[in-house]
Amino acid sequence: MARAITRKFYFLLSRPQFARHAVSARAIHFVYQPDTAKPPVSGETIKQNMFMAINSAIHSALEKDDSAIIFGEDVAFGGVFRCTLGLKDKFGADRVFNTPLCEQGIAGFGIGAAAAGATAIAEMQFADYMFPAFDQIVNEAAKYRYRSGGLFDCGKLTIRSPCSAVGHGAVYHSQSPEAYFAHTPGLKVVVPRGPIAAKGLLLSCIRDPDPCIFLEPKVLYRTAEEMVPKTEYFIPLGKAQVLTPGNQVTLVGWGTQVHVLLEVAKMAKEQLKVSCEVIDLQTILPWDKDTVCQSVKKTGRVIVAHEAPLTCGFGAELAATIQQECFLNLEAPVTRVTGFDTPFPHIFEPFYLPTKWRCLEAVKKIVNF
């Protein structure tokens, strides 16, 4: 009965009249490009959007591991983005529960539960609100194993949080904070580009022996739909994925921006006759230097794109390492197309984001350097 109602709900959401409303008042800047390659595991698949795929991953973790718990603000009724829908009924209120409204508490509680042997999945309602938990995450979680000489660790902790632009989120519902956490040895930071990636990467994070931060681009929760394998599967952390092979320009991104870059690659091919290789970094920390540099050594030109502001955005780390490793192969300086050095604006979002037009222009400039 519950499933029939849920299906009807999803069905209604996908109706054009809802989509029309979505486009008019809350425009999004990209077209989602579903994975068409062979799925990471064989077997039956099911059409899912990203919140459903994430729900599946959490469901799987709770089913296979009795110690697993998921908690955060509004998690019990299903979560503000439906990622935990139905889980409390299935696994019980002691495993799927609300916490008081306190991110530092959520993080601290999660660290302690993990250190005491429970698989702890903590939800932070928006990445923009992770900052009260910054001390717990950076000073505690990241350093737990190191500072104790390996006696204690909170590897069983995974913190998941919706991030990035959603069309209308403005200052406090659009941030991409990966750079802050990437600067912290001891953490792993992961950003999926869609449902298939989300399920496999989240399962890897939950299983990973180190504390992980899983940032979920919220605009993809409903927009991104793919045929997701029903079974459990794990996409390895620390590995980037080449999505579109090419030989003239390397385009590196993560999360939502991957779809912008995929479109840019198409446009570059059609309009500029330029062949672009698109790489989804997937794991921000530790990042896959080999895959990126291998590509750059081939193409000699690289553009890194991310929504987060330019200065000290993660693109800076990529640029520094790429120029270090591939200096003699570079035909042009490493280019970054990013959000501007401003807080994330509301009404100016269309001008703020690293749009396909700014990326295309960067491709044009880099091939003509």
Partner 1 sequence: MAAFYSKALNLKAFRAVQSHLRLFCDAPKFPGAKTTWTQTLKISEAKQEDNLPVYRVLDKQGVVIDSSHEPKLSSEVLRKMYKSMTLLNQMDNILYESQRQGRISFYMTNYGEEAVQIGSIAALNNDDLVFAQYREAGVLVYRGAPIDFFMNQCYGNNLDVGRGKQMPVHYGNKDLHFVTLSSPLTTQLPQASGAAYAFKRAKNGKVVITYFGDGAASEGDFHAALNFAATLECPVIFFCRNNGYAISTPTHEQYRGDGIASRAPGYGMGAIRCDGNDLLAVYNTVKLARKYCSENNKPILVEAMTYRVGHHSTSDDSTAYRPKEEISMWSTESPVGKFRRYLETKGLWSEEEEKSWAKDVRKQILDAFNKAEKVPKPAWKEMFEGVYKDLTPALKEQVKEMESHLKSYGAHYPLDNFK
CB 222 within 8 A of CB 13: yes
x/- map, 281-310, partner 1, by CB under 8 A: -----x--xx--------------------
Between 62 and 260, name the residue whose CB sits nearer to partner 1: 62
Contacts (Cβ under 8 Å, ≥6 apart) of 67 = 117, 118, 119, 156
Euclidean distance between CA atoms 236 and 283, whole angstroms:
9
Q: Name the amino acid, one letter, at 225.
A: E
Beta-bridged to residue 98, according to DSSP, are 72
Between 156 and 301, name the residue whose CB sits nearer to partner 1: 156
Between 103 and 307, name the residue whose CB sits nearer to partner 1: 103
Q: Report the residue from 78, 169, 186, 200 that binds partner 1 according to the rule CB under 8 A.
A: 186
Round to the nearest angstrom and report the end-to-end CA distance of the chain: 61
Q: Which stretch binds partner 1 (CB under 8 A): 29-37, 149-157, 295-303, 329-337?
A: 149-157
131 near partner 1 (CB under 8 A)? no
Between 27 and 93, name the residue whose CB sits nearer to partner 1: 93
102 near partner 1 (CB under 8 A)? yes
Q: Report the residue from 3, 11, 17, 100 that binds partner 1 according to the rule CB under 8 A.
A: 100
| Residue 339 DSSP SS3 | strand
Q: Which stretch binds partner 1 (CB under 8 A): 5-13, 48-56, 111-119, 166-174?
A: 111-119
Q: Which stretch binds partner 1 (CB under 8 A): 32-40, 99-107, 171-179, 241-249?
A: 99-107
Between 11 and 327, name the residue whose CB sits nearer to partner 1: 327
Catalytic annotation present for 168: no
Question: In the complex, what is the shortest distance from the CB of residue 234 to partner 1, in angstroms, rounded to a whole number?
Answer: 16
Cα angle value 104/110/113 (rounded, 5°): 140
236 near partner 1 (CB under 8 A)? no
For 344-361, the DSSP string reads PPSTTHHHHS--HHHHHH
Question: In the complex, what is the shortest distance from the CB of residue 15 to partner 1, in angstroms, rounded to a whole number?
Answer: 35
146 near partner 1 (CB under 8 A)? yes
Q: Which position among 29, 59, 73, 103 bears the catalytic label?
A: 103
Report the side by side order of strands in the sheet with 249-253.
241-244, 276-280, 249-253, 302-309, 335-339
Q: Which stretch binds partner 1 (CB under 8 A): 103-111, 123-131, 266-274, 353-361?
A: 103-111
43 near partner 1 (CB under 8 A)? no
CB 110 within 8 A of CB 79: no
| Residue 293 DSSP SS3 | helix
Question: In the complex, what is the shortest distance from the CB of residue 227 to partner 1, in angstroms, rounded to a whole number?
Answer: 33
Euclidean distance between CA atoms 228 and 196, whole angstroms:
5
Q: Which stretch binds partner 1 (CB under 8 A): 26-34, 105-113, 195-203, 293-301?
A: 105-113
Between 136 and 161, name the residue whose CB sits nearer to partner 1: 136
Q: Report the residue from 7, 42, 209, 271 that binds partner 1 according to the rule CB under 8 A.
A: 209
Q: Where are the beta strands (DSSP E) in the chain?
A: 45-49, 69-72, 96-98, 120-123, 157-163, 188-190, 212-217, 225-229, 241-244, 249-253, 276-280, 283-285, 302-309, 335-339
Would you state the structure tokens that stand for residue 166, as one six-digit string? 């959603």
Q: Which position among 29, 59, 173, 306 bears the catalytic label?
A: 173
Contacts (Cβ under 8 Å, ≥6 apart) of 223 = 28, 32, 49
Q: Where are the beta strands (DSSP E) in 40-170?
A: 45-49, 69-72, 96-98, 120-123, 157-163
Which of 282, 285, 255, 311 has its CA nearest to residue 137? 285
155 near partner 1 (CB under 8 A)? yes
- Residues of this chain that bind partner 1 (CB under 8 A): 67, 69, 94-95, 97, 99-100, 102, 104-105, 107-118, 120, 132, 135-136, 139-140, 143-153, 155, 185-186, 188, 209-210, 238, 286, 289-290
Residues identified as active-site: 103, 173
